[in-house]
Homo-oligomer: A and B are copies of this chain.
Amino acid sequence: MRRLTELATPCLLLERAKLARNLEIMAGAVRRHGVALRPHMKTAKSAAVARLATAGQAGGITVSTLAEAEYFAREGFRDILYAVGIVPAKLDRVAALRRAGVDLSVVTDDPDTAAAISSHAGATGAEHRVLVEVDCGEHRGGIAAESDALVAVGRALGPLCAGVMTHAGHSYACRSIAEVEVVAEAERRTAVTAAEWLRGIGLATPTVSVGSTPTALHARSLAGVTETRPGVYMFQDLFQVQIGSGTPENMAVTVLASVIHRRLGENRVVIDAGGMALSKDRSTASAPRDYGFGLVMDMHGRQSFGDAVVERANQEHGVVTAPTPLPFDRLEVGTLVRVAPNHVCMTAAAYDRYHVLDGGDVVIDVWDRVSGW
């Protein structure tokens, strides 16, 4: 069992109790509606976390890459939704997972791709399972719920059409729970309407899938929906806390870093966590409070350096400052600090493992994570 002080910096820390609390809150929020929770593993990318997140649930998960699908399949997961628009060139990898006994669903909003999936199924025997992506206002992927295009995609898929999915990513632009409720209702209504249209042309459409962390937590109704797919709720971050998806105490993932320079005359220190270790994500620039590239706390995760933030992030250098004088006597070169990330999905991506803590400074476990495509 190693202690924090024995870890090479920068590295990723995960507080097990905070993770557990976040999982419990989301499970409770979703349980109210009687729909399935299909956690999105794009944030954690870890089988150990997925096992906790699916405990007491139906067991299905969501992924953002085929590399994740293959990793979770190796780890025993059998019900996986790959929630990023498929292209025909990726169907062989999908079919290989299906042949291996994984019920892997894919997503499209494109009639030609739908036809290509049907052809691929015909040529290879792969019984693809496809959700039609509809747009509930995010304007990223997805076609309109009540549209000829929807009907065209449904018809091209025929029996491979297993339902509809949408994602209210624009819930991240909300700055109050009342605003999230409005977006959540649009997300629900869009998915349900699309499902009704597909049923109207004779497609069974069993799956009606929605979800983002804000809308899954705050939806007033999920009537007609069958599952929701939040992800970042597991860890929380400075951005999610500010849009009402969590509390600062529940941020479960931080980066452990070391002070490498002190600049007393400038009220700055430099740490060995820069853009590589924290990511260049600046989500909080559009939030009520801007944390630069992250909030700097002491090695125990306490905010004992005032409002110190990483104001600048070069490749391996994070320049830290604060509106009040930094306590340089407690920030010697070599001092360990923890940085809470703006956007944990991006920050965690730089690492291949979590050092798991349980409130103290002892590493109780090491959990791997998958990366790449």
Give me the interface of A with B, judged by CB distance under 8 Å.
Answer: 5, 8-11, 42, 64-66, 84-90, 93, 108-110, 112-113, 116, 133, 139-142, 169, 258-263, 266, 268, 270, 272, 275-277, 279-282, 312, 314-317, 319, 332-334, 343, 345-346, 349-352, 371-373
- Cβ-defined partner of A282 (8 Å) among B84, B89, B280, B351: B280
Chain B residue numbers with a CB within 8 Å of A64 are 315-316
| 23 A-B interface contacts by CB (under 8 A) | A8-B66, A11-B373, A84-B317, A85-B260, A85-B270, A86-B260, A87-B334, A89-B334, A110-B261, A110-B333, A113-B333, A133-B261, A139-B263, A139-B268, A140-B270, A140-B319, A141-B260, A142-B261, A279-B279, A279-B280, A280-B282, A351-B372, A352-B372
Closest-by-CB residue of B relative to A352 is B372
Chain B residue numbers with a CB within 8 Å of A373 are 8-11, 277
Q: Is the pair B282, A282 in contact by a Cβ cutoff of 8 Å?
A: yes
Q: Is the pair A261, B9 in contact by a Cβ cutoff of 8 Å?
A: no
Closest-by-CB residue of B relative to A262 is B110
Q: Is the pair B258, A87 in contact by a Cβ cutoff of 8 Å?
A: yes
Q: Is the pair B260, A84 in contact by a Cβ cutoff of 8 Å?
A: yes
Chain B residue numbers with a CB within 8 Å of A263 are 139
- Cβ-defined partner of A87 (8 Å) among B133, B317, B333, B343: B333
| Bound Cα distance A8, B373 (Å) | 8
Chain B residue numbers with a CB within 8 Å of A280 are 279-282, 343, 346
Q: Is the pair B334, A8 in contact by a Cβ cutoff of 8 Å?
A: no
| Bound Cα distance A352, B350 (Å) | 12
Q: Is the pair B272, A314 in contact by a Cβ cutoff of 8 Å?
A: no
| Bound Cα distance A261, B107 (Å) | 11
Q: Is the pair A87, B272 in contact by a Cβ cutoff of 8 Å?
A: yes
Q: Is the pair B8, A85 in contact by a Cβ cutoff of 8 Å?
A: no
A346 with B85, Cβ < 8 A, contacts A11-B373, A315-B64, A352-B372 known: no
| Bound Cα distance A280, B284 (Å) | 13
Among A42, A84, A93, A268: residue with most chain B CB under 10 A: A84
| Bound Cα distance A3, B90 (Å) | 15
